[in-house]
Chains A and B, each alone.
Chain A
Amino acid sequence: MTAALRFDPIRLPPECEQLRKEVRAFLAEEIAAGTFDPNKPNREDTDAPEFSRRVGAKGWLGMTWPKKYGGQERSFLERYVVTEEMRVANAPTRRFFVADRQSGPVLLKYAPEHIKMDILPRICRGELCFAIGMSEPNSGSDLFAAKTRATKTDGGYLINGSKIWTSSAHIADYMIAIFRTSPPTKENRRHGLTQFLVKMKQPGIQVNPIGQITGQYEFNEVVFTDYFVPDDHVLGEIDGAWKQATSELAYERSGPERFLETYYVLTELVRAVGDKPDTRSAEGIGRLVAQLHTMRRMSVSVAGMLQAGKEPVVEASIVKDIGTVWEQQLPHRVRDLAAFVEETASNRETLEKQLEFAIRTAPKLTIQGGTTEVLRGIIARGLGLR
């Protein structure tokens, strides 16, 4: 067989169920206290620093990391449960989500010890927000075309250029970014980029918000002018960022956030059709639930492989490809099915408001964090086609 794709039927271990109860109870309290409204997803640019700290206090940030850095040394499957429950409840996770999923693990792997000791415990306490500095005005999916320079100077580097589409840069305390330290070589066009830890909210960094078609401002342009980054903020190999990028993709690409972003409209549709749906509604809901269940089982399977120390890069890319296409189509399918919902349905207005937002959100879902085209290229490589 050319394609030995694995999706073993991994089940979440029993300790996850206790944790799930705790997370649900916590979220119910937060909702009751008015921290957020689970029926209103359209506030993803709203920052919730206090909520972030309370999640940290629960021990649910950096939960897989070593205890000496503030972590809990729990499993990826436990983290999975926390992530999916937060996502389904529409909890305001923006402030901590990137740090917990992505930036922390990068620091764990590549930062010097004193920086790990300084920053990781603060992420675990929910005090820090991270942004990811990848795309530039002329370098999006083509990551290795990045031009923003890091020029060697005494004790560090001077950064000049700009990053764009940077989510949360306007509230972030730090950014993990790639900058050009050398030109690409003839043999390897990916050579010459280095990963850096960048402290935000400093002179030399200007953050310009960019409006989105949802009406929100959650991504930004970030302009660097002679901005100094000290030597000990280099993460990993100089000129070798390309080697560091791929192994983290599996973590980034297969989580529950890759198919649950518009999930709320399905819940509201089920509410709107009532307990005795007509055949059309029943079939539509049944198909969507079957697809959702299948994706979640695929996603849990990848999480289980990660926990077992494997690097299922192709499987993870498949989860993100199928998951993001599904969550993009979901609001449109729900709209179809809701077309004949009774005018008197008690949640009709909620559903309509949610659909408006979800339909406006949908186009970005197959673009952010690796476009469908990039993912299919990775899958094709895994199949032995490139």
Chain B
Amino acid sequence: MAESENIVVETAEKIFADLADAQTINSDKTGSWKAPLWQALSEAGLPLAWVPDDLGGSGASLAEGFGVLNAAGRFAIAVPLAETMLAGWLLAQAKISSPDGEMTVVPASPKDRITLNADGSLSGRARGVPFAKAAKHFALLAHGHDGGISIALVDAAKGRIEAGLNIGYDNSDTVTLDKVEPITIKPAPKGFDQETLMLMGGVVRSLQIAGALESMLDISVRYSNERIAFEKKISKFQAVQHNLARLAGESAAALAAATSAADAVANATSFDDAVYLEAASAKVRCAEAAEKGGAIAHQVHGAIGFTIEHILHRYSLRALAWRDDFGSESHWAVELGKRVAARGADELWPLVASR
């Protein structure tokens, strides 16, 4: 990690530690922590980290931004930081300036599709859009009737939003657009399509899941060294030790898959087969780790970890919820499997070894 990367990530970590302490947030029923956290993040230029200076952002590198999002996962950050970063990144692909304030990305699932109508308006429905209700603007990817892809900035108030909650109790909403006029719309660069957006979103979620797992491991190890049962610390029971070793393995696998994919995207000139392998694999493996690792973290905590007062669910449920965004692990496994099959059996190892 370059020194500048450390500085951006350290700035983010300091803000998270000061203003997004899991215990404090978990006890706050009013949500009063949200505004100061968002303000501090905005003042540090983090929501628009991936937007170049001339488009209104702070021009951080992809690697720096990925580092911030991994840290956001470690703190289970529940404001639309990842979504706004991703939205700014999407807009910047078409050289569209980013406005201030919360944004999110539409669509957030490979199955949904927004259409660019002949009159220049936008129509369509997107489910499971993270933080749509909190967003002031949407960064949107649309399909034209001629097959062309456009990127648009849309006023969120112009869409109909049916609010919903994901498994982690964060907003995950349905956005319906009916002939909505965009604020700005431009063609996407050559080769950029919805799959590119989904892969990028998948890498972002993978890093967040990996971060959440790191924290789950951390608090589970700490708890096992404190909790006494049968007259000794539960960390001294071999069954518990082996469960925690498996959790460490899942956390390590998620971290390796996610940081490898982030590194691949940060250094890629295009989303070729190799980057596809990295990004799709990260989403699949991190989602699997969220399930297996989260279950162990809960097992170690016993009943206390199942209470709403305990912070564990802030990580475990969010990690499970993040599996669903930008293509589930089932989606990416099928797509990756199809690609591997199309390349042929003897081209599988060369692909794996190329990374």
**CB nearest to B1 among chain A residues:** A8
Residues of chain B touching chain A, judged by Cβ–Cβ distance below 8 Å, are: 214, 217-218, 221-222, 224-225, 235-236, 238, 240-242, 244-246, 248-249, 251-253, 255-257, 259-260, 262-264, 277-278, 280-282, 284-285, 288, 329-330, 332-338, 340-342, 344-346, 348-349, 352-353, 355
CB of A301 within 8 A of CB of B256, answer: yes
As a 0/1 sequence over residues 241 to 277 of chain A, the CB contacts with chain B under 8 angstroms (1 = contact) are 0000000000000000000000100111011011111
CB of A318 within 8 A of CB of B249, answer: yes
Can you pick out 18 interface pairs between chain A and chain B where the beta carbons lie within 8 Å of each other?
Answer: A3-B248, A5-B251, A9-B256, A9-B262, A9-B264, A11-B355, A266-B348, A274-B341, A279-B334, A286-B280, A286-B340, A290-B282, A293-B278, A293-B281, A296-B355, A322-B252, A376-B245, A385-B240
CB of B344 within 8 A of CB of A291, answer: no
Least Cβ–Cβ distance between B26 and chain A, in angstroms: 20
CB of A289 within 8 A of CB of B277, answer: yes
CB of A7 within 8 A of CB of B281, answer: no
Chain B at the A interface: mostly helix, strand, loop or mixed? Answer: helix
As a 0/1 sequence over residues 65 to 88 of chain A, the CB contacts with chain B under 8 angstroms (1 = contact) are 000000000000000000011001
A290 to B282, CA, bound (A): 7
CB of B333 within 8 A of CB of A380, answer: no
A210 to B334, CA, bound (A): 44
**CB nearest to A300 among chain B residues:** B355
Contact of B256 among A20, A294, A314, A376 (CB under 8 A): A294
CB of A290 within 8 A of CB of B224, answer: no
With A271-B345, A294-B281: A283-B256 Cβ-Cβ less than 8 Å: no
CB of A318 within 8 A of CB of B281, answer: no
A20 to B336, CA, bound (A): 25
As a 0/1 sequence over residues 85 to 106 of chain A, the CB contacts with chain B under 8 angstroms (1 = contact) are 1001000000000000000000
B residues in contact with A373, CB < 8 Å: 242
Q: Top 9 nearest A-B pairs by Cβ distance? A: A286-B337, A286-B333, A282-B337, A271-B345, A290-B284, A380-B241, A9-B263, A290-B281, A286-B336
CB of A1 within 8 A of CB of B355, answer: no
CB of A275 within 8 A of CB of B344, answer: yes
A377 to B345, CA, bound (A): 38
Interface size on A, residues (CB 8 A): 58
CB of B348 within 8 A of CB of A267, answer: yes
B residues in contact with A275, CB < 8 Å: 341-342, 344
A85 to B282, CA, bound (A): 24
CB of A283 within 8 A of CB of B348, answer: no
A7 to B289, CA, bound (A): 15
Contact of A321 among B249, B259, B277, B337 (CB under 8 A): B249
A347 to B225, CA, bound (A): 53
CB of B334 within 8 A of CB of A282, answer: yes
As a 0/1 sequence over residues 297 to 338 of chain A, the CB contacts with chain B under 8 angstroms (1 = contact) are 110010000000000001100100110000000000000000
Asked whether any CB of chain B lies closer than 8 Å to the CB of A386, the reply is yes
With A267-B349, A294-B281, A294-B285: A376-B340 Cβ-Cβ less than 8 Å: no
A386 to B352, CA, bound (A): 37
A266 to B352, CA, bound (A): 13
A residues in contact with B217, CB < 8 Å: 2-3, 383
A313 to B154, CA, bound (A): 51
A329 to B218, CA, bound (A): 28
CB of B337 within 8 A of CB of A283, answer: yes
Asked whether any CB of chain B lies closer than 8 Å to the CB of A194, the reply is no
B residues in contact with A384, CB < 8 Å: 221, 225
Asked whether any CB of chain B lies closer than 8 Å to the CB of A132, the reply is no
A356 to B190, CA, bound (A): 49
With A5-B255, A7-B259, A283-B333: A386-B280 Cβ-Cβ less than 8 Å: no
B residues in contact with A386, CB < 8 Å: 235-236, 241
With A282-B333, A298-B253, A385-B221: A289-B263 Cβ-Cβ less than 8 Å: no
B residues in contact with A298, CB < 8 Å: 252-253, 256
**CB nearest to A301 among chain B residues:** B256
CB of B252 within 8 A of CB of A289, answer: no
A379 to B282, CA, bound (A): 23
CB of A276 within 8 A of CB of B341, answer: yes
A residues in contact with B244, CB < 8 Å: 379-380, 383, 385
CB of B337 within 8 A of CB of A277, answer: yes
B residues in contact with A9, CB < 8 Å: 256, 259-260, 262-264
A273 to B251, CA, bound (A): 32
Asked whether any CB of chain B lies closer than 8 Å to the CB of A295, the reply is yes
Question: Told that A275-B341, A318-B245, A376-B242 touch, could you supply 19 new A-B pairs with CB distance under 8 A?
Answer: A3-B218, A3-B251, A11-B355, A267-B345, A273-B341, A275-B342, A285-B341, A286-B280, A286-B333, A286-B340, A287-B288, A289-B352, A290-B333, A291-B285, A298-B252, A298-B253, A321-B245, A385-B240, A386-B235
**CB nearest to A322 among chain B residues:** B249
A40 to B214, CA, bound (A): 41
B residues in contact with A376, CB < 8 Å: 241-242, 245-246
B residues in contact with A284, CB < 8 Å: 333, 337
Least Cβ–Cβ distance between A336 and chain B, in angstroms: 14
Asked whether any CB of chain B lies closer than 8 Å to the CB of A281, the reply is yes
A residues in contact with B336, CB < 8 Å: 285-286, 289-290
A residues in contact with B332, CB < 8 Å: 286, 290
Taking each of A284, A285, A301, which has the highest tally of chain B beta carbons within 10 Å of its own beta carbon?
A285
A368 to B18, CA, bound (A): 48
With A267-B346, A289-B281, A386-B236: A277-B341 Cβ-Cβ less than 8 Å: yes
Contact of B248 among A5, A267, A271, A290 (CB under 8 A): A5
B residues in contact with A293, CB < 8 Å: 257, 277-278, 281, 285, 352, 355
A residues in contact with B355, CB < 8 Å: 11, 293, 296-297
Asked whether any CB of chain B lies closer than 8 Å to the CB of A292, the reply is yes
